Amino acid sequence: MNQRRDPRFEINQSIWITLFGEPDIRLPARIKNVSSRGIGLELQGPVAIGTALKFEVDDCLLLGEVIYCRQVDTSCDEASFYVGVELEQALRGLAHLAAALRAFSDEPSGATPSGDSPSRDTPSGPQQEDPVKERRHQH
């Protein structure tokens, strides 16, 4: 009998994960299953419970925390570990965000092509110079 709150979906997708620490460690992993609250990963080495990690899948960046790690019996000589990750945050639409950031950084920063200082016009019309600042510059 399955006592899980959310259904799990079996997947077999290779990814790269980053374990946060000093220093961060980037490792290959395989997603074994997913649910709305977590992900099951297969790795070639153990990971400490409580380790924060990130990984990217398609157009999403996912952040999570290792909640368990157990060794899996395999027929090959290499040990394999099943790591349960509780998802903490998900950022979707990274391609759209990257395009928006590129567009934002390509916008003019207020300088004019002639090298003059930018206009001080406002939506309500041209702005007058500040008389106090003008007097300071004259003295």
Handedness of CA 50, 52, 58, 59 (dihedral sign): positive
Of 1 and 76, the one with more pLDDT: 76
C-alpha span between 139 and 127 (Å, rounded): 23
Best CATH choice for the domain 9-94 from the list 1.20.120.140, 3.20.20.70, 2.40.10.220, 1.10.10.2840: 2.40.10.220
Handedness of CA 63, 66, 70, 76 (dihedral sign): positive
Q: For residue 136, what pLDDT is reported?
A: 47
**pTM of the model as a whole:** 0.64
Q: For residue 22, what pLDDT is reported?
A: 92
pLDDT confidence tier of residue 48, bands split at 50, 70 and 90: very high
39 pLDDT higher than 90: yes
pLDDT confidence tier of residue 113, bands split at 50, 70 and 90: very low
Q: Where are the domains of the chain?
A: 9-94
Q: How many CB atoms lie within 10 A of CB 59?
A: 13
User: 15 - beta bridge partners?
Assistant: 29
